[in-house]
Homo-oligomer: A and B are copies of this chain.
Amino acid sequence: MSGNRSSVGIPSVDRAVAELCKLPGIGPRMAQRLVYHLLRRDRSEIESLSRALQDLHARIRHCSICGYFSESDPCHICSSDSRDRHVICVVEQPQDVFAIERTNDFHGVYHILGGALSPIDGIGPEEIRIRSLLERLRGDIREVILATNPTLEGDATALYLQNLIRPIGIRVSRIARGLPTGGDLEFADESTLAAALSLRTEM
């Protein structure tokens, strides 16, 4: 065993562990567990996993309208007849669409910014997809829902967009703040609790 704590002294295992550790949320222990699992499985299982991962890059494009992942252009959401194209939900990242789609509660379309304004990281309005959002607003849009993250950058981005969109005469809304379902007052941070109190709704 070398000085490297995650090395097990078997080159192909170490290599697989190192590759898996590049993935978010996977540390050396979990990577070893995954490798061990794969070693016990049939070879075809690894091949089918590899093929599925390689297919991602081969097949996935960005939708030219909303910027979401897609195998077709426009994506399945932008081209769906059952979606309301007059309501655009603006999010930072494609995975935010995954999250909202899971609710089964939103029937409009999306616009993916690809990030949030962050001057200290050098991300200004030109670095994210604001220009293409404004172009879409020339169409018949009823409402823009700003669903950027409830963070400093997400809030700043929402404020910036609100100032651009409201003058056009389109309704702009921001996703609500408050306690998460199943959350516990005792453990809520001050900012969340303050928002939950000031945004309280009549019963």
- Residues of A whose CB lies within 8 Å of any CB of B are 1, 5, 8-13, 15-16, 18-20, 22-26, 30, 32-39, 43, 45-50, 52-60, 69-71, 75-77, 93-95, 97-98, 101-102, 104
Contact = CB atoms under 8 A, between A and B. Distances in A.
Given A9-B76, A69-B13, A76-B9, A56 B39 contact: yes
B98 A32 contact: yes
Contacts of A95: 32-33, 36
Given A22-B45, A36-B98, A39-B69, 8 more contacts: A8-B101, A9-B76, A20-B49, A23-B34, A25-B33, A35-B56, A38-B56, A46-B53
Contacts of A5: 102
- The number of times this chain is found in the oligomer is 2
B55 A16 contact: yes
A94 B11 CA distance: 16
Contact of A24 (B10, B15, B34, B101): B34
A75 B9 CA distance: 10
Nearest to A34: B23
